[in-house]
Amino acid sequence: MLDEKPEALLKRAIRGDEEAFLTLYQKHQSALYRYALRMTGSAWAAEEVVQEVFLVLIREPRKYQAERGELGAFLYGVARNRVMKHLEKTPRELSLDVMNADGSAWYEPEDPLTPMMIAEKRERIEQVREAVLELPAEFREAVVLCELEEMSYEEAASACGCPIGTIRSRLHRGRALLLAKLELLRDAPRRASAGAK
Amino acid sequence: MLRAEPAREPSSLRTARKVVAMMNCEEFELRGLDLDRADADPQEAAAAAKHAEICGRCSAMLESWREVKCDLRLLRESTRLDSAPARVEMRLKQELRTRREARVPRGPVVVASWALAAAAVLVASVGWLQTHHKAGQPGVSSSNAGMTGNTSQKTSNGDDAEMLLADSDSASFTQLPGSLPSASGYESVLEVRMQRGALERFGLPVDPDRASEFVNVDFLVGEDGQPQAVRLHQDSQIATAMQ
């Protein structure tokens, strides 16, 4: 079933085939959830976004037209609309702990690090996560799609429904802001330690 | 004397050299950080690398960006297993099931249930009558032959007990196809409310457009419990239905 075309799976899912629907869900939900989580900074909002995206697929399947693009891009588009609506009405939420968004334990790659190194690594990850969340939504989206989700410019443009040039330009601005923010954060302790000497 | 001409460069290489030579700091800021991307244009990447070699400021920027990229990779790795909680899947499955159930057509189900109910009433009544006659108790009362069916006639000896006997006005009944008029004179009249379409089962012609209408019908049931003739009540417009 995994090899089946998304359009065929969707047709079956619309007719009520639960297995076909779950195959589509499992294929796309994780990326959509991560995208929503990185854009909103809220696990609750990301969960809502994923749910709403698939509810659209169940309730209004005709909104997806295969000739206009891939199902994945369509789902990203729906998720994007929901995320933007959420960002418009809700102030940004920042998680202060180092748990994963769903409450599970922090995933630690299995490499031999000392506790000191692990702590440092966590701190860096938190810094970059906060810096990404502080970017304006459009630039953040470009960074999330192109740098974190590792989409090509073409894929990101398709997901955002804009030309490739726009994505490149947003990514350029996003990178510049991210660099400035992180350099500022990392230079502060250096400056403090230099001042102490 | 012939001189060997220098070999000409391929045009793509000439363009590449031009790009490498032309990239400046402003262009590097715009495109230089794509250097490490998998989908980067190889010519632009070569030009950016070349520029970074000779420009200290852009080289430092590239270095900073690579550090940030490293942090972004850490963030990506730490969240790569993130996915929507299982409850989202449960809710969506529930929604899918609800919609699937809602799609089952209700119209035919309602019609079928009414037809079944009418048939059940008819069968129960006929069965009861059959049992009643076999028991040889003509005076046993029959208060109700179904939900709406009811017919009675008092016995000739004047008892209060009701008895299912044929109406004396049996001439108004229409003989059912395939049934013979009973000579015993011991028929019963059974009043039933049913869908007009059900008359088709007794071999009567029915207008398909009006098959779902409910009509009051009198059945003349023979001693053997089989309906022999039928009569539609006047308010049920027998004439149009039977034609």
Select from B26, B69, B72, B90 the residue whose CB has the most chain A CBs within 10 Å, as the one to mutate to test that interface.
B72
Does A124 share its domain with A177? yes
Strand pairing report for B227-232 and B214-221 = antiparallel
Q: Which of A134-138, B148-152, B239-243 has the highest mean pLDDT?
A: A134-138
Chain B, nearest residue to A151 by Cα: B39
Any domain includes B110 = no
- Please indicate whether, in this complex, the C-beta atoms of A148 and B76 are within 8 angstroms of each other: yes
In this predicted model, which residue has the larger pLDDT, B150 or B48?
A: B48
CB proximity A181 to B under 8 Å: no
CB proximity B99 to A under 8 Å: yes
Distance of alpha carbon A49 from alpha carbon B191, whole angstroms: 62
Whether A173 and A135 have beta carbons less than 8 Å apart is answered as no
Domain of residue B46, residue span: 11-75
Chain A, nearest residue to B65 by Cα: A179
Distance of alpha carbon B23 from alpha carbon B54, whole angstroms: 11
Any domain includes A75 = yes
What's the pTM value of the predicted model, to 2 decimals? 0.56
Instruction: Measure Cα distances from A139 to A89, A178, B72, B212 in Å.
Output: 19, 10, 15, 65
First-to-last CA distance in chain A? 65
Any domain includes B65 = yes
Any domain includes B87 = no
Kindly report the nearest CA distance between residue B33 and chain A, in angstroms.
8
The count of domains in chain A is 2
In this predicted model, which residue has the larger pLDDT, B202 or A37?
A: A37
Which residues on B lie below 8 Å from A51 (Cβ)? 84, 88, 91-92
Last residue of a domain, one of A66, A94, A122: A94
Distance of alpha carbon B162 from alpha carbon B155, whole angstroms: 7
Distance of alpha carbon A41 from alpha carbon A137, whole angstroms: 12
Q: What is the pLDDT of residue B139?
A: 43
Q: What is the pLDDT of residue B135?
A: 62
Distance of alpha carbon A118 from alpha carbon A4, whole angstroms: 42
The count of domains in chain B is 2
Instruction: Measure Cα distances from A175 to A123, A127, B132 in Å.
Output: 20, 15, 95
**Position A38 pLDDT exceeds 50:** yes
CB proximity B96 to A under 8 Å: yes
Instruction: Measure Cα distances from B58 to A184, B29, B53, B64, B205 in Å.
Output: 18, 8, 9, 10, 94
The tokens describing A80, both together, are 């994007």
Which residues on A lie below 8 Å from B98 (Cβ)? none
**Position B236 pLDDT exceeds 70:** no
Chain A, nearest residue to B36 by Cα: A147
Q: Which of B33, B69, B83 sits opposite A30 (nearest CB)?
A: B83
Which residues on A lie below 8 Å from B30 (Cβ)? 168, 172
Other C-beta atoms lying within 10 Å of the C-beta of residue B141: 14
- Please indicate whether, in this complex, the C-beta atoms of B82 and A101 are within 8 angstroms of each other: yes
Does B120 share its domain with B237? yes
Chain B, nearest residue to A98 by Cα: B78
**Position A192 pLDDT exceeds 60:** no
Kindly report the nearest CA distance between residue A97 and chain B, in angstroms.
14
In this predicted model, which residue has the larger pLDDT, B23 or A187?
A: B23
CB proximity A18 to B under 8 Å: yes
Any domain includes A83 = yes
- Please indicate whether, in this complex, the C-beta atoms of B92 and A106 are within 8 angstroms of each other: no
Does B196 share its domain with B134? yes
Considering chain B, what percentage of its residues have pLDDT values greater than 90? 2
Does A28 share its domain with A88? yes
Q: What is the pLDDT of residues A128-157, one digit of tens each?
A: 899 999 999 999 999 999 999 889 888 898
In this predicted model, which residue has the larger pLDDT, B117 or A16?
A: B117
Q: Which of A37-46, B104-113, B182-191 has the lowest mean pLDDT?
A: B104-113
Q: What is the pLDDT of residue B80?
A: 84
Does A76 share its domain with A148? no
Strand partners, B221: B188, B227
Which residues on A lie below 8 Å from B96 (Cβ)? 13, 16, 18, 21, 58
Q: In the structure, what pLDDT confidence band is assigned to residue B154 with cuts at 50, 70 and 90?
A: very low
Any domain includes A99 = no
Distance of alpha carbon A125 from alpha carbon B68, whole angstroms: 10
* Average pLDDT over every residue of B21-39: 80
Q: In the structure, what pLDDT confidence band is assigned to residue B168 with cuts at 50, 70 and 90?
A: very low
Any domain includes A105 = no
- Please indicate whether, in this complex, the C-beta atoms of A175 and B65 are within 8 angstroms of each other: yes
Distance of alpha carbon A47 from alpha carbon A37, whole angstroms: 8
CB proximity A27 to B under 8 Å: no
Kindly report the nearest CA distance between residue B115 and chain A, in angstroms.
30
Which residues on B lie below 8 Å from A22 (Cβ)? 89, 93
The tokens describing B225, both together, are 């419990």
Q: What is the pLDDT of residues B85-101, one digit of tens each?
A: 999 999 998 888 888 77
Does A114 share its domain with A90? no
Distance of alpha carbon B29 from alpha carbon B90, whole angstroms: 47
At B154, give phi and psi (nearest 5°). -75, 150
Q: A15: which residues sit within 8 A by CB, 6+ positions away?
A: none
Does A90 share its domain with A116? no
**Position B153 pLDDT exceeds 50:** no
Does A2 share its domain with A83? yes
Does A1 share its domain with A85? yes
Amino acid letter at B132?
H
Q: In the structure, what pLDDT confidence band is assigned to residue A170 with cuts at 50, 70 and 90?
A: very high
Any domain includes B137 = yes
Whether B25 and B57 have beta carbons less than 8 Å apart is answered as yes
Distance of alpha carbon B224 from alpha carbon B201, whole angstroms: 19
CB proximity A73 to B under 8 Å: no
Chain B, nearest residue to A124 by Cα: B71
Mean pLDDT taken over chain A: 82
Domain of residue A172, residue span: 110-197
Decide: helix, strand or coil at residue B231.
Answer: strand
- Please indicate whether, in this complex, the C-beta atoms of A34 and B82 are within 8 angstroms of each other: yes
